[in-house]
Amino acid sequence: MNDPLRILVVDDEAIVGKRLKPILEKSGYQVDVCESGTLALERLSEKTFDIVVTDVRMDDVDGMQVLARVLATSPSTKVIIITGYATVELAREALTKGAFDFIAKPFKPDDLRGVISKAVAQLEAESVSTVD
Amino acid sequence: MPIISLSSHLGSKAARIARRVADATGYRLLDRGFLDEIAERHGVSRASLLDLLDNAPRFLGIGSRSRRRNLAILQQAVLEELLHDRIVTIGLAAHLYVTGVSHFIRVRVVGDQEERARALSEEQGISVEKAARLIKLHDRRRLHWSLEFFDLDESDPALHDLVIDLGATPEDEAVRTICEAAAARLYQPITYSVKCLQDQALAARVRVALFDPYPDIEVKARGTTVYVRAKAPARHRHRRVAAIKEAAQEVAGVDYVEVHLSGDSFRQATAGIP
């Protein structure tokens, strides 16, 4: 994996994308930001991402729908759910539907960086096993 | 990997199932053997911890302060142990105080009264009739106990992720079902659930540290911030808040302390914390 990993951040709170984009770019990732689920679905139809970070509660298309679309079109993509309304039920639903991880807001940038590092490690392990 | 918590009524073979699940999964079994370690670490007697777990609160609340202190100690010790995950726990009431942790699987093992009486009779070498009486008494005490300390009826199926009726399910199948559940994706640890458990362990640590001067406080934690709900007479308000902050900040892992004297502001500040 020599090209920078592509990450899509989806959150209808503009401030989340604005804050995360420079932080993740600084870590060497290529980052796109969408401020709605609908825009995210459009972007996903144009481009494949290695990692998608999505909020759950959004007005038009919610994070679970984004998760389903991502995994239907790119099963190896790691989807990380972020939400200010975390519950056991929602976390388990996200995992059952294939989410890689689930983070409650508010979180520290380091928390997300840690989860993304784990996702990257898994992507690398999967790419090695595919080559083998 | 997840934490599996088993609970049951007296005489329902849950302890044996817990051991078999631990053997099959390679998880560590955290049962009442852990009470010795808690007793030694916290300078309390094992007998008082057993009394706490087995007996309903006394008439007129006699001894209730020391029992509540022991409960706080038990919670702290168990929660800190559960941070290691890959644990099967039984007999320490964890199913009643670990909340909002998605990789904590609550399994309730039930059996019919006659079968339980037969099993207890064999186990303790007493008549089936005596065993049946003991079981009825024990069930009443347990209900009283879980209501008194946690305002929960622990036999309520809605509290559990998995309820296994040993009257209808062979023991081997019960063990296999629990092991399969532990492997399911939805019960795997995630950032959110691990943080919930860390927060609860920190809150429990603060609660124990502050118990002697302030036995009635409520504590929650989010990250390294601790929220304390305390009562204080108007004229001692500022002094008490300062004292609680100072004491809580001494606890390892605490960076910031908020003390709330009103229930509303405490609930507002801790909204979203299980």
pLDDT in tens, A53-106: 999 999 889 999 999 999 999 999 999 999 999 999 999 999 999 999 999 998
Q: Are B199 and B222 contacting, i.e. CB atoms less than 8 angstroms apart?
A: yes
User: What CATH number did the domain enclosing B229 receive?
Assistant: 3.30.70
End-of-domain residue from the set B147, B172, B187: B187
Domain shared by B158 and B211, yes or no: no
pLDDT score for B54 = 86
Reading the block at residue B208, the tokens are 């124990």
**Cα(A36)–Cα(A54) distance, integer angstroms:** 10
Domain shared by B108 and B211, yes or no: no
Q: What is the pLDDT of residues B72-82, one digit of tens each?
A: 999 999 999 99
Residue B133 lies in a domain: yes
CB contact under 8 A, B192 and A86: yes
Q: B77: domain range?
A: 3-187
Q: Read off the pLDDT band of A2 (50, 70, 90).
A: low
B190, B200, B222: which to substitute to probe chain A, counting the most A Cβ within 10 Å? B190
Q: What is the pLDDT of residues B24-60, one digit of tens each?
A: 999 999 999 999 999 999 999 999 999 999 887 766 5
- Give the count of beta carbons closer than 10 Å to the beta carbon of residue B84: 10
User: What CATH number did the domain enclosing B112 receive?
Assistant: 3.40.50.300
Whether A11 has its CB under 8 Å from any CB of chain B: the answer is no
Domain shared by B176 and B200, yes or no: no
**Cα(B170)–Cα(B18) distance, integer angstroms:** 14
End-of-domain residue from the set B134, B156, B187: B187
Whether B271 has its CB under 8 Å from any CB of chain A: the answer is no
CB contact under 8 A, A86 and B191: no
pLDDT score for B265 = 86
Q: Read off the pLDDT band of B112 (50, 70, 90).
A: confident
Domain shared by B238 and B130, yes or no: no
A22 by DSSP, 3-state: which?
Answer: helix
Domain shared by B33 and B46, yes or no: yes
Residue B219 lies in a domain: yes
Between CA B189 and CA B197, with CA B192 as vertex, the angle to 5 degrees is 75
End-of-domain residue from the set B187, B220, B243: B187
Domain shared by B251 and B126, yes or no: no
Residue B229 lies in a domain: yes
Q: Read off the pLDDT band of B114 (50, 70, 90).
A: confident
Domain shared by B178 and B199, yes or no: no
Domain shared by B180 and B225, yes or no: no
Domain shared by B66 and B127, yes or no: yes
CATH number of the domain at A6-131, out of 3.40.50.300, 3.40.50.2300, 3.30.300.30, 3.20.20.70? 3.40.50.2300
B62: pLDDT strictly greater than 70:
no
Residue B274 lies in a domain: no
Tell me whether residue A132 is exposed, middle or buried, using C-beta atoms within 10 angstroms of its C-beta: 0 to 12, 13 to 18, 19 or more. Answer: exposed
Q: What is the pLDDT of residues A77-87, one digit of tens each?
A: 999 999 999 99
Domain shared by B96 and B226, yes or no: no
Residue B177 lies in a domain: yes
Whether B102 has its CB under 8 Å from any CB of chain A: the answer is yes
CB nearest A101 (choices: B100, B190, B272): B190
Domain shared by B58 and B156, yes or no: yes
Q: Residue B46: left (phi > 0), alpha (psi -120 to 50), or beta?
A: alpha
Q: What is the pLDDT of residues B171-217, one digit of tens each?
A: 999 999 999 999 999 999 999 999 999 999 999 999 999 999 999 89
Between CA B224 and CA B236, with CA B230 as vertex, the angle to 5 degrees is 120
Q: What ipTM, to 2 d.p.?
A: 0.90
Domain shared by B166 and B144, yes or no: yes
Q: Which residues share a beta bridge with B108?
A: B7, B163
B1, B161, B192: which to substitute to probe chain A, counting the most A Cβ within 10 Å? B192
Q: What is the pLDDT of residues B242-251, one digit of tens each?
A: 999 999 999 9
Chain A hits for B3, Cβ within 8 Å = none
- How many angstroms separate the CA of residue B197 from the nearest CA in chain A? 12
Q: How many domains does chain B have?
A: 2
Q: What is the pLDDT of residues B232-266, one digit of tens each?
A: 887 888 999 999 999 999 999 999 999 998 888 88
Selected residues 155-194 of chain B with any CB under 8 Å from a CB in chain A? 185-188, 190-193
**Cα(B2)–Cα(B98) distance, integer angstroms:** 13
Q: Are B4 and B30 contacting, i.e. CB atoms less than 8 angstroms apart?
A: no
